[in-house]
Structure 1
């Protein structure tokens, strides 16, 4: 199942029954990095997981899957569907496990059709970022299509800001395929308000597309508060973090990411995959 179909069928947004916004969200000023006493090197303080990675387990047992994620050591999660649980129920699960959910992926249809309910759910769950992760092929054929998306992003960004959250967009590789000798991703950056629209940089997909993430991070340092930490083999296949060729230490040393979410789109063994990725990142210095 690809991300488009998954987001449409993953159990819905479970938006019924919203009554109050529960709990306090962690301060955005709290760093995801910590200073290492030896040599001034940094480590990641709070490693996150995009729950799409463990979607097959979430479909079977959400509470147990979240428990296993916390047991490995993850402290943040990014949702991709709520699996028919209410935001209040999920909030309680997270609180019991010492987890926070600073971000969620939602299909663009949720913002078009259920904007108010989507933002209410975000408030209850403590999401700071509402992220659109994908655009349908038939609506990204031309640069004008991307300009129209930029208009949508700005509008949704306004609504998110009014609700106390931040809108963001997550890339794949298709945004970097040139149209009329321009890079569509550059059009999105240029045509959106930097205050209203942030970017979640998928380090695998931008590398897969043949672009240097550091170039974008240096040119737009304030646009990228979130990243997906995904590795790539020499054969350009997705692999567990630390098993491939992407130089995460070099990237992290120059980035201003606030949240780091491990992801693997098709892991053979989801728990083993996220454990290997966590073990690598927990020891990484930069």
Structure 2
């Protein structure tokens, strides 16, 4: 089965902030038809961060042949979820996910409390015919006792309520092989994020190799401070074994999309994602770009 490819809109966040409709038009022209949004203002804006009503956004997307097929919600708080989920349902999107989570080092009880929240979010989503998915970074691969935090999340969330969006880049940066995790939990993985790591980088691939301590508290400040923006490159131009990832993804029974994501670039955002689109298309087999139109 070919892996369907889309774009995470965080890749063009500045362009969207300045000109949302013009940016969406350029994404359509570049060949991206399936989009995952990232709403970092979910308390003030129940939608996708554009500050527009769902009918207006759906009309604009339909005109361009685009579909929102996933959305990160931040902050992930239960009190704001009903209206956020209602917005996504009106938009025609059936999948919502977490954005970024932090866990005090070694605090198992905190992890388990968050797992209960994830289960509740999943139940609210299912009531509306939607799916909730957990998106990882690297900090989930600190140990909490004998387990990774990520292990605890998988052990203490309901597989029928909490699915997985594997960010393969951040798994590598946590010292993990995402292909191994795909093979361990094939039934739960529904989405992937794909970035790339430059061949000549100022940091090691594994952030726990001298950049971040395996025993320190990782919060947003530490995350931003230790993440070197030069450790990203256009997807298909770096050193990650992306063909191996695509091949493993093709065997997943419930995979929906693989989203390209460019966190940082020395290029203008739209030029960066065009370059990723072209490099990804030229470099890897077993992928397909869905045609324009509603998913």
Q: When the two structures are superposed, what TM-score results if normalisation uses the length of structure 2?
A: 0.78
2:194, 2:235 within 8 Å by CA — same for their partners in 1?
yes
Counterpart check, 1:92 vs 2:50: no
3-state SS, counterpart of residue 144 of structure 2: coil
Q: Which residue of 2 aligns with 1:258?
A: 256
SS state of the match for residue 237, structure 2? coil
The unaligned stretches of length 5 or more in structure 1 are 1-32, 35-43
Is this contact kept in 2: 1:203–1:213, CA < 8 A? yes
Measure how far apart 1:141 and its partner are.
Answer: 5.5
How far 1:80 moved relative to its partner?
A: 1.4
Work out the CA distance in 1 between the residues paired with 2:20 and 2:93: 18
Higher mean C-alpha displacement, 75-84 vs 49-58: 75-84
- Count of residues in Structure 1 that have an aligned counterpart in Structure 2: 242
Q: CA deviation at 1:251?
A: 1.3
Give the match for residue 125 of structure 1: 91
Matches within 5 A, 1:100-139: 100-109=67-76, 111-136=77-102
Is the Cα contact below 8 Å between 2:103 and 2:111 reproduced in 1?
A: no
1:155 pairs with 120, 125, 130, which one? 120
Structure 2: unaligned runs, 5 residues or longer:
40-48, 206-230, 287-295
Deviation larger for 174-183 or 62-71: 174-183
- Counterpart of 2:8 (choices 50, 57, 80) is 50
Coordinate RMSD, CA, aligned = 1.6
CA shift at 1:113, angstroms?
2.0
Higher relative contact order (CA 8 A, sep 6+): 2
> Which residue of structure 2 lines up, in the alignment, with residue 76 of structure 1?
34
What CA deviation, in whole Å up to 9, does each residue of 1:12-57 have, x standing for no partner? xxxxxxxxxxxxxxxxxxxxx54xxxxxxxxx4x421111111101
| 1:225 counterpart SS class | strand
Determine helix, strand or coil for the equivalent of 1:231: coil
Q: What are the Cα deviations for residues 150-189 of structure 1, in whole angstroms up to 9, with x where unaligned?
A: 1111111111001011011111000011122320001101
2:292 corresponds to which residue?
Answer: none
Corresponding position of 1:278: 277
* Cα distance between partner residues in 1 of 2:75 and 2:174: 23
